[in-house]
Chain A
Amino acid sequence: MALNASELKVGDTYTERLVEDLKRTQIVQYAGASGDYNPLHTDEVFTTQVAGYPSVFAHGMLTMGMTGRMLTNHVGDGRLSKFGVRFTSQVWPGDTLDSTATVEGLREEGGEHFVDLSVETVNQDGVKVLTGYAAAKVDG
């Protein structure tokens, strides 16, 4: 369901749990679907013994993909016009992530209405793992 501009105001938030206790298998699933087979995400031996990390960790794009699910659930299918993020901290197996979209503004462009959102995804310790923005077409 699409959002309606008349029902939105600056500061409104929408939050969704993206994942609880992220499994290594989901990271493998993402590697397979996206085609990014970097062993840092799936190969514990390489990642701990060669790359020097405590364990494999999620692709940033997996976190962005899950965050995108929160957004499309919020703004409706086919409504996004922009979505951009910075990866601010790594996401590890076992992490639980929650993501929030906050209305930053509403605007009209060429007769169409848009909502501008800020986006933030945090882990179970409240550490931001992703920050960003999105824009979506809304009903007028």
Chain B
Amino acid sequence: MAIDKFPVEGSHIMMFARSVGDDNQIYHDDEYAKGTEPGSVIAPPTFAQSSAQFDPDYFLRPKTGQDWFGSGKEPTGVKKSSSGGGGGGGGGLHAEQHYEYHRHIKPGDVLTGTTKPGKTWEKEGKRSGKLVFTESVTEYRDQNGELAITATGVGVRTERPVDSK
């Protein structure tokens, strides 16, 4: 995954903050934010996740003219393939997420994201069969090439859906 251009915008920050139930004025009110320590609107700690919006190939966004695996007339828009049962549907589940903040991003920043694969490991899970974990490390740099955020994600694929009990 590579993100060539992730423009950090005020309205996107506002919508993201709303979606996590955060009505802190620092995420939407310029006047208020001027009087705070950061001195401007900043993005909430997990905002970098929404870089997916700017990844042209992001596979969990429906794209014009392409099949989408969510339901329409049928429970899934994709013909049954050999993708197997569980875990599913969406290329696995999110197991871990780690952020290191080198500085706090704000509207007007234009980030790039470069992702490198990390470690891979396996584990036998009681609730879901064999688990395969895959790590990826994304460096978000700002318009000056300075490192702003290092994000390490760990995904897991399961043999079958995770038992909820």
Interface of A toward B, CB cutoff 8 Å: 2, 18-19, 26, 29-30, 32-40, 42-43, 45-47, 49-54, 59-62, 64-66, 68-69, 71-73, 76-87, 90, 92
Contact = CB atoms under 8 A, between A and B. Distances in A.
Given A46-B69, A49-B75, A80-B101, 14 more contacts: A30-B20, A32-B15, A33-B16, A34-B53, A35-B50, A36-B52, A40-B88, A50-B75, A52-B85, A60-B97, A68-B46, A69-B21, A78-B38, A78-B42
Nearest to B88: A51
Nearest to B156: A87
Given A35-B61, A83-B45, A60 B161 contact: no
Interface of B: 12, 15-16, 18-22, 24, 26, 36-38, 42, 44-46, 49-53, 55, 58, 60-62, 69-71, 75-76, 85-86, 88-90, 93-101, 104, 152, 160-162, 164
A74 B97 CA distance: 20
A44 B44 CA distance: 29
A14 B22 CA distance: 17
B99 A83 contact: yes
22 contacts: A18-B21, A35-B53, A36-B49, A37-B60, A37-B61, A37-B70, A42-B70, A43-B70, A45-B75, A49-B75, A50-B76, A59-B94, A60-B97, A61-B49, A64-B97, A65-B49, A69-B20, A69-B24, A72-B22, A80-B101, A81-B101, A86-B95
B22 to A, nearest CB: 4
Given A29-B18, A61-B97, A65-B44, A53 B36 contact: no
A40 B53 CA distance: 18
Contacts of A73: 24
A92 B53 CA distance: 24
